């Protein structure tokens, strides 16, 4: 079953459970909440291998999808949120990714070795990387001294993501280290670090991101690796999914097959360059934007980047419904000055 069909099925089940879920949340009936969430997760897990959670925040019900920073799942959650029924808009906040400063974050208490630790017990020391527009952080907490280093690092990353959110973690955090003693330098307690980040990002006019599926990475390929063939002539790659591209360049397809097993497909459109290099890059960028505007609102596909080659240009896609995509592509080609050809990453 395609991802799009599974998305529609999920929301159908959600609407069937909506009234009972709202009642259970309002009454804080944890037993009933858990039973309904179990039903919803049964459907959600089928096409994400992940989980969701619900809660109440400022008089709104809240639904949050968890991706575990898995780009495949993030791309699915993006279309899942876009298809949320209008009937939910008045009462529900739908989070496609873990948001910053959630109710869960603010009320988190960790119990380690019979000792309770609160968010205020975590201190974030940070340095600003102006070149990469990011922060390198060192996190301190008394609890780390009684933990295995790997476990301490796992907790540090978990707590940081809980407070700054999934998008900011990916967009702005470089290195994360655990330290066993307090130190000098710039710092903030964990609950205040997100606001500190925002102030610095605004002051330095760094790009702002609200969606991890729009964070692009750019790679330039070495001249000796460029071959005059389709997908082998690439000079510059732009992508929101670096792991996928890295695997494809090395003829590995683990990420591709995972997405395929969920009901989707990663692939690319290519066409012959008609202009000079600068004009080709601009045309490709505009075409990618236009295709995304045509396809994503209908749950057909989402653009995830592309490349400029010596002879061809490429637009990479996460496809949610292959059958609908191919039908749409036929219609799109009737209105373009270039001929788009599709090929899966395999």
In a domain, 56, yes or no: yes
- Residue 287 vs residues 42, 275, 323, 333, 335: alpha-carbon distances, Å: 38, 14, 21, 12, 12
Cβ burial of 12 (10 Å; 0-12, 13-18, 19+) is exposed
What are 70-81's pLDDT values in tens digits?
999 999 999 999
Give the whole-angstrom CA distance, residue 280 versus residue 234.
Answer: 13
304: CATH: 3.30.70
Task: Answer whether 322's CB lies under 8 Å from 245's CB.
Answer: no
Tell whether 223 and 277 lie within a shared domain.
Answer: yes
Tell whether 88 and 112 lie within a shared domain.
Answer: no
In a domain, 210, yes or no: no
In a domain, 256, yes or no: yes
Tell whether 263 and 147 lie within a shared domain.
Answer: no
Tell whether 141 and 65 lie within a shared domain.
Answer: no
In a domain, 132, yes or no: yes
Tell whether 132 and 35 lie within a shared domain.
Answer: no
Strands 92-95 and 341-344: unpaired
Tell whether 80 and 162 lie within a shared domain.
Answer: no
Domain boundary among 64, 97, 130: 97
pLDDT at res. 9: 98
State how many domains the chain has.
Answer: 3
Q: In 3-state terms, what secondary structure has residue 339?
A: coil
Tell whether 308 and 236 lie within a shared domain.
Answer: yes
Tell whether 177 and 278 lie within a shared domain.
Answer: no
Tell whether 168 and 221 lie within a shared domain.
Answer: no
Mean pLDDT per 10-residue section of the chain, whose length is 346 residues: 98 98 96 97 97 91 94 98 95 95 88 91 98 97 92 95 96 96 94 98 96 94 80 94 96 96 98 82 94 98 96 97 98 95 95
Domain boundary among 72, 97, 122: 97
In a domain, 187, yes or no: yes
In a domain, 294, yes or no: yes
pLDDT at res. 250: 93
Tell whether 86 and 19 lie within a shared domain.
Answer: yes
Tell whether 76 and 109 lie within a shared domain.
Answer: no
Q: What is the pTM of this model?
A: 0.93
Tell whether 340 and 220 lie within a shared domain.
Answer: yes
Range of the domain at 143: 104-203
Domain boundary among 45, 70, 97: 97
What are 315-343's pLDDT values in tens digits?
999 999 999 999 999 999 999 989 999 99
């Amino acid at each position: 079953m395609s991802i799009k069909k599974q998305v529609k099925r999920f929301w159908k089940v959600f609407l069937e459970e909506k009234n009972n879920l709202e009642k259970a949340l309002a009454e804080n009936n944890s037993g009933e909440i858990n039973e309904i969430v179990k039903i919803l997760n049964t459907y959600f897990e089928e096409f994400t291998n992940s989980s969701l959670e619900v809660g109440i925040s400022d008089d709104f019900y809240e639904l949050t999808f968890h991706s575990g920073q898995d780009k495949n799942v993030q791309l699915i959650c993006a279309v899942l949120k876009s298809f949320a029924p209008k009937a939910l808009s008045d009462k529900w906040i739908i989070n496609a990714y873990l948001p910053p400063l959630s109710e869960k974050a603010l009320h988190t208490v960790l119990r380690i070795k019979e000792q309770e630790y609160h968010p205020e017990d975590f201190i974030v020391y940070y340095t600003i990387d102006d070149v990469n527009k990011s922060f390198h952080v060192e996190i301190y907490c008394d609890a780390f001294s009684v933990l295995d280093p790997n476990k301490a690092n796992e907790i540090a990353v978990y707590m940081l993501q809980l407070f700054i959110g999934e998008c900011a973690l990916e967009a702005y955090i470089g290195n994360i280290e655990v330290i066993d003693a307090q130190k000098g330098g710039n710092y903030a307690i964990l609950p205040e670090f997100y606001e500190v980040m925002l102030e610095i990002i605004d002051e330095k006019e760094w790009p702002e991101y609200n969606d991890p599926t729009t964070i692009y990475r750019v790679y330039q390929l070495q001249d000796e690796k460029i071959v005059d063939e389709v997908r082998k002539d690439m000079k510059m790659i732009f992508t929101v999914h670096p792991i996928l591209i890295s695997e494809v360049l090395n003829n590995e397809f683990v990420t591709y097959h995972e997405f395929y097993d969920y009901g989707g497909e990663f692939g690319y459109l290519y066409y012959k360059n008609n202009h000079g290099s600068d004009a080709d890059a601009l045309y490709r960028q505009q075409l990618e934007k236009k295709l995304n505007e045509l396809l994503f609102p209908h749950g057909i596909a989402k653009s995830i980047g592309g490349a400029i080659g010596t002879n061809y240009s490429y637009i990479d896609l996460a496809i949610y419904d292959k059958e609908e995509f191919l039908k749409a592509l036929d219609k799109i080609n009737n209105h373009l000055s270039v001929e788009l050809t599709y090929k899966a990453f395999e």
